[in-house]
Amino acid sequence: MSKKITLITGASSGIGLELAWVCARNNHDLLLIARHEDKLQELTKAIKEKYSVSVDYLPYDLSEIKSAQEIYNHCQAKDLFIDVLINNAGFGDWRKFIDSDIKRQLDMINVNISTLVYLSHLFIKDMKNNGGGKIMNIASAAAFQPGPLMSVYYATKAFVLHFSEAIANELKENNITVTAICPGPTASNFKKNANIGNSRLMKKRNLPSSKNVAEFSYRAMKKGKVVAIHGLINIIMTKLVNIIPRSIVVKMVRKIQEEF
């Protein structure tokens, strides 16, 4: 009998790191993925010291398309059954599209979309053959509207949301739940990595912690919710964008993305 494992991408920092802790506390054996091996190693050690779960890690750059197949091959070779797949790795880039580095935009599409799709495709087949499983995809409140100054990022998250909802519907009969998590601005390394300066959106108030978002996400996944939007303001905003004319929504988002 294969060993049941929860795979978390982007576990070296922020929401993914906190998801690793929440899952460990709930007795999940873990396989952690990200680029920074030192951080994964440190986290693995810390979790093992606190909880009686098995934790392993694989350093991978998920912008490389071949990474998904290699991760899958590793699981096959070790006889691991990924019954929970958490596609959390992702990043943004703050600037006008015309001024952006196209390689970085394409890497973003690979991490936020292509590898998420690839891993899902590989592991869903095993979940189906093993009687079920759970997938959590970290989308964003950004998924609900276009985002000037982070155009590619917002579009990747719209993809993740729509893709998740669609396969959640398809997989119902296979006892596989798919949950799209939509956090708003959250305290993590995201802002620094996306080169977001003093945008109105990210500079605001006390941002929710990654731990808070991770706990919310775990509960939503356990309940099998299809879409889970974190925070009342984000819930209200995602409803409002459906009734405000789209041309106005785009202008509003531009305004909150600008520096002040």
Ligand X SMILES: NC(=O)c1ccc[n+]([C@@H]2O[C@H](COP(=O)([O-])OP(=O)(O)OC[C@H]3O[C@@H](n4cnc5c(N)ncnc54)[C@H](OP(=O)(O)O)[C@@H]3O)[C@@H](O)[C@H]2O)c1
List, by residue number, the catalytic residues.
153
By beta-carbon proximity to ligand X, the closer residue of 131 and 195 is: 195
By beta-carbon proximity to ligand X, the closer residue of 174 and 233 is: 233
Nearest to 127 by CA among 82, 168, 157: 82
By beta-carbon proximity to ligand X, the closer residue of 127 and 201 is: 201
> Could you tell me the smallest distance in angstroms from the CB atom of residue 55 to ligand X?
15
By beta-carbon proximity to ligand X, the closer residue of 74 and 128 is: 74
The answer to whether 234 and 141 are in contact (CB under 8 A) is yes
Q: Which two tokens stand for residue 113?
A: 């979309």
> Could you tell me the smallest distance in angstroms from the CB atom of residue 175 to ligand X?
26
Phi, psi of 244 (to 5 degrees): -80, 140
What does the DSSP assignment read for 34-75? ES-HHHHHHHHHHHHHHSSS-EEEEE--TTSTHHHHHHHHHH
> Could you tell me the smallest distance in angstroms from the CB atom of residue 224 to ligand X?
20
The answer to whether 142 and 160 are in contact (CB under 8 A) is no
> Could you tell me the smallest distance in angstroms from the CB atom of residue 187 to ligand X?
7
Say which residue the tokens 């810390």 belong to: 46
Buried b (16+ CB within 10 A) or exposed e, 81-93: bbbbbbbbbbbbb
Using CB under 6 A as the criterion, which residues of the chain lie in contact with ligand X when the complex forms? Answer: 10-16, 34-36, 39, 60-63, 88-91, 111, 138, 140, 183, 185-186, 188-190, 193, 210
